[in-house]
Copies of this chain bind each other. A is one copy, B any other.
Amino acid sequence: MNIIVDAMGGDNAPLEIIKGSLDAKNEYGVDITLVGDKAVIEKCAKENDVDISSMELVHASEVIATDEDADSVLKKKPDSSLAVAMRLLSEGKGDALVSAGNSGAICVGGTLIVKRVKGVKRPGFAPILPHFNGGCFMLIDAGANLEARPETLVQYAVMASAYMEKVMKVDNPRVALANVGAESHKGGELQRTTYELLEKSDLNFIGNVEGRDLPSGACDVYVCDGYAGNLVLKTYEGVAKSMLKKVKELFSKNAKTKLAAALIMKDLKAMAAQFDYNEYGGAPIMGTAKPVFKAHGSSKAKTFKNAIRLTKDYVEADVISQIAEAVKKK
């Protein structure tokens, strides 16, 4: 299996990306194709004693910044590491692609360069989030398409359910619709129509779930339009992060609180790890013709290695054939 890596994407590129890629290669036995500015990557590798000789290196002269327009991956920067990587994937020079770069550009490139699974209307950006009981859930869509139609939401549910079952090994994933109340009549027309369609589907649809029930693990798949989903994703991560920071501040206040910290350090760290996205690694773009995986923008080597592991599982579980079958049936 060959994984194509956008070596220039993310806050810690290229160093942490090439380190994580090498670790993944050694640990999981996958081949890696690094894409990015050759001179920059080779210099960085040399300076940091990372031996990249076992990985293929494909040159790309440009880089798409995190805050750039999503569609710069198309016409504005065709020689960016991401665009070149996407084209390599689309041409069959690899089995999957991983990037820690610009989420929007990854969604656009995935949809228009790698292209969609036949029958899929719109790929969805689907981050995996930890809940507070040790497990995780998939949120789809977190911003690939800001608006959605009921049929799109149902396809999101089908795709995410296949991923959670095959890659995350969740038995019969519980699919929930993001809504403002539990009752079936809640929400606007979009939610009510989607509710009816999900009820008729083969999925394990458990009904509407409100934002407050996400942390306790109320569902395995959480479906909504990309605008609301993006707000939920960032609020979820933002509140958890701020709270952990607050707790840390509390413990470093004075001698007494520092003593308390020492007593409880091990448990605190375990708790923090539970919410650490580094353990989860990122978000697949669901619905592309080949696996495209977005690693967290602030990925360090470990996160990126995990992202490659999840991508390898994504390829091996053949989720995409399953999605193609499921979508055909509709």
Binding site for B on A (CB under 8 A): 67, 69, 104, 132, 143, 146-147, 178, 180-183, 185, 187-188, 191, 210-216, 224, 226-228, 230-247, 250-251, 253, 256-257, 259-261, 263-264, 267-268, 271
Contact A212 B238 (CB under 8 A): yes
Which residue from B146, B253, B268 sits with its C-beta under 8 Å from A180? B146
User: Which secondary structure characterizes the binding site on chain A?
Assistant: helix
Chain B residues near A213 (CB, 8 Å)? 238
Chain B residues near A215 (CB, 8 Å)? 238-239, 241-243
CA A263 to CA B264, docked complex, whole Å: 11
Q: Provided the pairs A180-B227, A212-B235 are in contact, do residues A187 and B267 lie with their beta carbons within 8 angstroms? A: no
CA A95 to CA B236, docked complex, whole Å: 38
Which residue from B216, B227, B242, B250 sits with its C-beta under 8 Å from A268? B250
Chain B residues near A263 (CB, 8 Å)? 256-257, 259-260, 263
Contact A210 B234 (CB under 8 A): yes
Contact B212 A234 (CB under 8 A): yes
Chain B residues near A260 (CB, 8 Å)? 259-261, 263-264
With contacts A104-B181, A250-B268 known, what are 15 further pairs, Cβ within 8 A? Answer: A67-B181, A67-B182, A67-B183, A132-B246, A146-B180, A146-B187, A210-B231, A210-B234, A211-B231, A212-B241, A214-B235, A240-B243, A243-B243, A259-B263, A260-B264
A-B contact pairs, 10 of them (CB 8 A): A147-B188, A180-B227, A210-B231, A211-B236, A214-B235, A216-B238, A231-B232, A239-B240, A250-B267, A263-B263
Please, which residue of chain B has its CB at the minimum distance from the CB of A185?
B69
CA A235 to CA B271, docked complex, whole Å: 19
Please, which residue of chain B has its CB at the minimum distance from the CB of A187?
B146
Please, which residue of chain B has its CB at the minimum distance from the CB of A259?
B263
Contact B216 A242 (CB under 8 A): yes
Contact A246 B271 (CB under 8 A): yes
Chain B residues near A183 (CB, 8 Å)? 67
CA A41 to CA B51, docked complex, whole Å: 78
Contact A267 B243 (CB under 8 A): no
Chain B residues near A185 (CB, 8 Å)? 69
- Closest chain B CB from A240 CB (angstroms): 6
Contact B271 A250 (CB under 8 A): yes
- Closest chain B CB from A40 CB (angstroms): 27
Please, which residue of chain B has its CB at the minimum distance from the CB of A258?
B263
CA A259 to CA B263, docked complex, whole Å: 8
